[in-house]
Amino acid sequence: MNVGVVTFPGSNCDADARHAAALANADNGDVVHQLWHKDSVIPQGLDAIILPGGFSYGDYLRTGAIARFSPIMKEVIAFANNGGVVLGICNGFQILCESGLLPGALIRNENLKFVCKDVFLKVENTNTPFTNTVKKGSVLRMPVAHGDGRYTASEAEIILLEKNKQIVYRYVSQTGEKNAEANPNGSMHNIAGICNKDGNVMGLMPHPERASEALLGSADGFTVFTGLLAHFQRKQAQVVA
């Protein structure tokens, strides 16, 4: 698959996302592009764009609020609106919400402290380019690392998210229970990751790229990258057929 990872000033998980995407591409040799925030064109034939974690523009003003205005985001928004696959991880999720590609907002953690630890996620929608290789209801282990990860939306938006099955991941206990203890930041309804109505844009606070090798403690996050790979291989097969 042909993936581009955007580097904003202050992105610090861009190399990690490129590394995980390259691992997924190990067998096909496809390139992972580094996209620059000042670029106003994106490479031809890109399958997916990843907005990585970090502190774009120092997270000054509000997380993701400045990045949303960078030249590359015009292209990303057009790409997404055209059906292109976009994944936002952590700061990338915040940028997706700020740019209106996803509903809701990510605000300061409930306990006002940065939190870095492993969490468990229940996969609630497996009908996305990111989760299609996982069984519905699976519990995955991935780390979070953020100060502003508390997902918040209006009740009307939440109802729509539920109705359209846009809630992809929820924080749960190791055994799959949705409870307050499993929620690391006070997110509404334990929401950890959502997608847009069409399913081609997804944002999540946990870091799948940091859980993409067993060596690092968990390879559960790699499902996001293998999911993407399977999705594009299937698409390509359809085109060929």
Partner 1 sequence: MVTPYSEIEVTELTATELGLTAAEYAKIVEVLGRTPSYTELGVYSVMWSEHCSYKNSILQLKTLPRSGGRLLVEAGEENAGVVDMGGGYGVAFKIESHNHPSAVEPFQGAATGVGGILRDIFTMGARPIAALNSLRFGEPDTERTKYLVRGVVSGIGHYGNCFGVPTVAGEVYFDRCYTDNPLVNAMAVGVLRTDAMASATAEGVGNPVFIMGSSTGRDGIHGASLLASREFDSMTENMRPTVQVGDPFAEKLLLEASLELIAAKVVVGMQDMGAAGICCSSSEMSAKGNVGMKLNLDVVPLREADMSAYEIMLSESQERMLVVIEKGKESIAKTICDKWDVPFVEIGTVTDTLHVEVYRNEKLVSSIPAKSLVLGGDAPVYVREQTEPDYLKLTRKPIDKGATLNQDEFEKVLRKLLSAPTIASKRWIYEQYDSQVGANTIARWQGDAAVVRLKELPGKAVAVTTDCNSRYAYLNPYRGGMLAVAEAARNCVCVGAHPVAITNCLNFGNPYDPEVYWQFAEVIRGMGDMCRALDTPVTGGNVSFHNESQSHAIFPTPTIGMLGVIDDMSYVTGNTFTAEGNSVALIGWQQVELGGSEYMKTVKGRITGDAPEIIIENEVALQKAALLAIRGGYVSAAHDCAEGGLIVALAEMCFGSTVGCEIDIPFAHNVGELFGEAQSRIVLELSNKNIDSVKQICADHGVPFTLLGKTSGNTFIITELCNIEVQELASEYYNALPDILETVHA
Summarize as ranges the residues that interact with partner 1 (CB under 8 A): 9-10, 12-13, 15-16, 19-20, 53-55, 57-60, 113-117, 143, 145, 147, 207, 209-210, 212-213, 215-217
Q: Is 207 a catalytic residue?
A: yes
- Among 75, 97, 209, 231, the active-site one is 209
- What minimum distance in Å lies between the beta carbon of 4 and partner 1? 18
For residue 218, the tally of other CB atoms under 10 A from its CB is 18
Nearer to partner 1, 80 or 142 (CB): 142
In Å, what is the CA distance from 148 to each residue of 19, 90, 110? Answer: 25, 9, 9
Both tokens assigned to 214:
């067993």
- Of the residues 75, 97, 146, 207, only one is catalytic, namely 207
Beta carbon nearer to partner 1, 199 or 221: 221
Q: How does DSSP assign 99-139, residue by residue?
A: TTSSSSEEE--TTSS-EEEEEEEEE----STTTTTS-TT-E
Q: Which helix (H) or strand (E) holds 204?
A: strand 201-204
Q: Closest CB to partner 1 among 12 and 164?
A: 12
Query: Rg of the chain's alpha carbons, rounded to an integer?
Result: 16
Q: Is 75 a catalytic residue?
A: no
13, 90, 97, 195: which one is catalytic? Answer: 90
Q: Which amino acid is at 72?
A: I
Beta carbon of residue 190, minimum distance to partner 1 (angstroms, whole number):
19
Q: How many CB atoms lie within 10 A of CB 83?
A: 9
* H or E element that contains 75: helix 71-81
> Based on CB atoms, which residue is closest to partner 1, 11 or 125?
11
Neighbours of 45 (CB within 10 A): 6
- Distance of closest approach, residue 64 Cβ to partner 1, in angstroms: 14
Shorter beta-carbon distance to partner 1: residue 91 or 200: 91
90 is catalytic: yes
Hey, which residues are catalytic here? 90, 207, 209
